[in-house]
Chains A and B, each alone.
Chain A
Amino acid sequence: MTTLEKVRQRAESDARTSGCFLNPDPLFLKDLLEGLKKNEDRYGYPSCPCRPATGKLELDKDILCPCWYRDPDVQEYSSCYCGLYVSKDMYEGKTKLQSIPERRPQEKQARALGVTREIPIPKPSAKAAPKTEGMKLWYCKQCGYVCYREEPPYICPICKAKKEMFSEIASG
């Protein structure tokens, strides 16, 4: 069993390094952290409290908090799907928090419901190359921080420069 405090510390630490902020509403935040704790206790990992999980890591890995959809959602809607991570504007109360559309593909959502042991879990093939499509190298023009992802971070985790300060490093 994990503790609420551990879940909170992990979220705080992740917010610091990603340039996001935690939901400024203490009650809303507490409910979210409790949801994460419940999922960690029953599945063994903190899957998104607002999405159906299967308890099979292979099927749930995209919704492990922070989920794969957090950064684009914070960018587009100022908050992630469940509302745990928010943008600076929302943190400062300039933008109102509201329920946002689901970015997770519907087939993943549908696959998460009704999972029984008979359903084979797709295993990553040893031969298959890791996902590289759409992945790019980015560097921060202010401090030189380099990362490999589809989009540059919202804010540089090192020097806090804005997304616009990132440039792509041409591959090859």
Chain B
Amino acid sequence: MKTTEIAPRTTKVLGKNKKHKVLIYALSTCVWCKRAKQLMNDNGIEYEYVDIDLCSPKEQEEIKNDIMKRGGSIGFPCIIIDDKTLITGFREDKIKEVLEL
């Protein structure tokens, strides 16, 4: 799998399925976050992720503000699809529905 660093802490994972824009705020230690990334990998979905526990306090602050601005609650994984749908937690059925899997 190809990954490209596009911003200090954002990793882009290339995939064939580019139908939706997917961003995952995750924790590097979290098993549910790992499952969310795995679901994208297994379905060839292109996505970006940030492991927030590896971010600086300033970056964490920005991510927190981004989640709250979108009306989300602080919980991980936080999956943002097409800049409009925010899913908190690894809710597999919901994620698949929005990604049309």
Contacts and interface: CB of A to CB of B under 8 A. Distances in A.
Contact of A114 (B30, B58, B73): B58
Given A52-B53, A110-B74, A83 B32 contact: yes
Q: Interface residues of A: mostly helix, strand, loop or mixed?
A: loop
Given A31-B31, A50-B27, A52-B76, A113 B52 contact: yes
A164 interface: no
Contacts of A28: 31
Contact of A82 (B31, B53, B57, B63): B31
Contacts of B21: none
B8 to A, nearest CB: 15
A101 B73 CA distance: 11
B70 interface: no
Contacts of B52: 52, 113
A115 B30 contact: no
Interface residues of A, number: 28
Nearest to A23: B31
Contacts of B32: 50, 82-83, 99
Interface stretch (A32-40, A66-74, A134-142): A32-40
Contacts of B92: 98-99
A9 interface: no
B49 interface: no
B29 A39 contact: yes
Contacts of A114: 57-58, 60-61, 64
Interface string B82-99: 000000111110000000
Contacts of A115: 57, 60
The 7 A-B residue pairs with the shortest CB-CB distance in the complex, in nearest-first order: A114-B61, A35-B29, A109-B74, A49-B29, A113-B60, A99-B90, A113-B64
18 contacts: A28-B31, A35-B29, A36-B29, A39-B29, A49-B29, A50-B27, A50-B33, A50-B76, A51-B27, A52-B52, A99-B89, A99-B90, A101-B89, A102-B73, A106-B73, A109-B73, A110-B64, A113-B60
